[in-house]
Amino acid sequence: MNPEFLRYSCQIALPGFSEQSQHQLQNARVLVVGAGGLGCPAAQYLTSAGIGTIGIADFDIVSESNLHRQVLYGPADFGLKKVAVACERLQKQNPDVKLVPHDVRITSQNVMELIAGYDIIVDGTDNFETRYLLNDAAVLRGIPLVYGAIYQFEGQAAVWNYKCPNGKLSPNYRDLFPSVNAAQIPNCAEGGVIPTLAGIIGCIQANEVIKYTTQTGELLAGKILVFDAQTMQSRVIKIGEATQTHITKLVETMVIPTLTADELKNDLAQSAVKLIDVRTEEEREEFNIGGEHIPIANVLANVDAIAQNNKTVFYCTTGKRSAEAVKIVKNKYPDANVFSLEGGTRLIDWND
């Protein structure tokens, strides 16, 4: 055996696997989008397996609520960029892998350039806008995408846009979900998620990448795996042999207007802004910075009244739900004077 492959000897010994398979992994370029609950375990096992180049795209920072499921981070990393911490930890895990950090928010303006040069994409995102954007970009670029999603005790995984031996492309995310009203679907902060589920689905995603790269096994293409962590039961649902969608261009992403904490403090001091907390009742009772309380699930029902305000700032813990609230209002009232608190309330000392 090639001495440089000693660390991979157990996978090379697999039936149907060989040193040639390891060379295929070594030559592969994989982009992991989202260094969170799914991206962490997926990236860890892809690094361990010896993928040659792994790009990690994320613009978020580490916060305390991440730690129960985002296993690359610890308390000492609070406030640091996830992509920087993840790449540093993974590089120590396997010095022979090339880690490429992409500290960017993915938009319709940069996604095509970002995914160019990669062989396959791992979708570890946690919002529908980016999920659709990645799906559409992957179709336009002709790159397969490994999908994963988790909520409470249930997880899903699939491989989209795989070129089958007959030349047809397998279904993509829009074949299964042509559109989704994100405002009606609670996120993990509201509905919760069991941490082990992130590891299970993230590992399944890594497994699909390895199978695709080495051309072994049967991919989750044309079907979706649904896993229940409470019953430990899983089922594979067939979607179809080929895509029925015709994606010809990207949907333009909305630029979310934001306010920094200092800007918000200044506006509050001058009573020049209306503040709306879009978190859950439990989160608000534990800590809040005042303002009206309209959970994200109720923003759409109150959109007419919100749009009449002179200036409104939505806030949540991380800035993700507040950004979604801005989108909801702007979709109906494009000129509404609404903002999202940049970065949310985490890591901000409101006693300054």
Provide the annotated active-site residues: 188, 316
Rounded CA-CA distance 51/302 in Å is 48
Residues 6+ apart with CB under 8 A from 15: none
Residue 121, amino acid: I
Rounded CA-CA distance 3/181 in Å is 53
Specify the residue for token string 């179809």. 240
CA atoms 138, 43, 131, 108: torsion sign: negative
Return phi, psi of residue 285, to 5°. -65, -35
Rounded CA-CA distance 315/335 in Å is 19
Look at strands 223-228 and 154-160 and give their pairing. antiparallel
Contact between residue 349 and residue 265 where contact means Cβ atoms under 8 Å apart: no
Tell me which residue of 223, 169, 188 sits closest to 70, measured CA to CA. 188
Rounded CA-CA distance 306/254 in Å is 19
Q: Where are the alpha helices (DSSP H) in the chain?
A: 9-12, 19-27, 39-49, 82-93, 111-115, 128-141, 173-176, 188-191, 195-214, 261-269, 281-286, 303-307, 320-332
